[in-house]
Amino acid sequence: MTTPWRLLLVDDEDMILELLSLRFKAQGYEIQTAMDGELAYAAAQAFNPHAIICDVVMPKVDGPTFCRRMRAEGNNVPFLFLTAKGQPRDKVEVLSAGGDDYLVKPFDPNELNARILAIIRRRYPPAS
């Protein structure tokens, strides 16, 4: 891989965006951020990310709606949701909206790393 993985981070909390940006930049990812589902949709068009980490509850357009819109357009970019709820119903909601995986806040950073790598690897298998 000569170009780094492009990762889109979507959360309405700027503190979370700042912290996650630093974490993933330190690991060589190229990062863009968006603070709601509408901005995220625009960013996804321009940035064409390899994966998206997305909050569930956001103003204007929420995470599942953003994901459904991408899926409806045939975009299969891997989606990992960060949910603050963690109730079984919420997990079902994000997965049925087209999400590939989810983590409950507060998450363990090592687990987030591992899961993001896993969904990227599944979507873009290394050429053999």
Contacting positions for other proteins (CB under 8 A): 13, 15-16, 19-20, 22-23, 26, 82, 84-86, 88, 104-107, 109
Shortest distance (Å) from residue 87 CB to other proteins: 8
Shortest distance (Å) from residue 126 CB to other proteins: 26
What are the angstrom distances between the C-alpha of 14 and each of 5, 17, 26, 40, 96? 22, 5, 18, 14, 27
Shortest distance (Å) from residue 20 CB to other proteins: 7
Of 19 and 39, nearer to other proteins (C-beta) is 19
Q: Which residues pair with 31 in a beta bridge?
A: 7
Of 30 and 75, nearer to other proteins (C-beta) is 30
What are the angstrom distances between the C-alpha of 36 and each of 3, 9, 11, 100? 27, 10, 6, 19
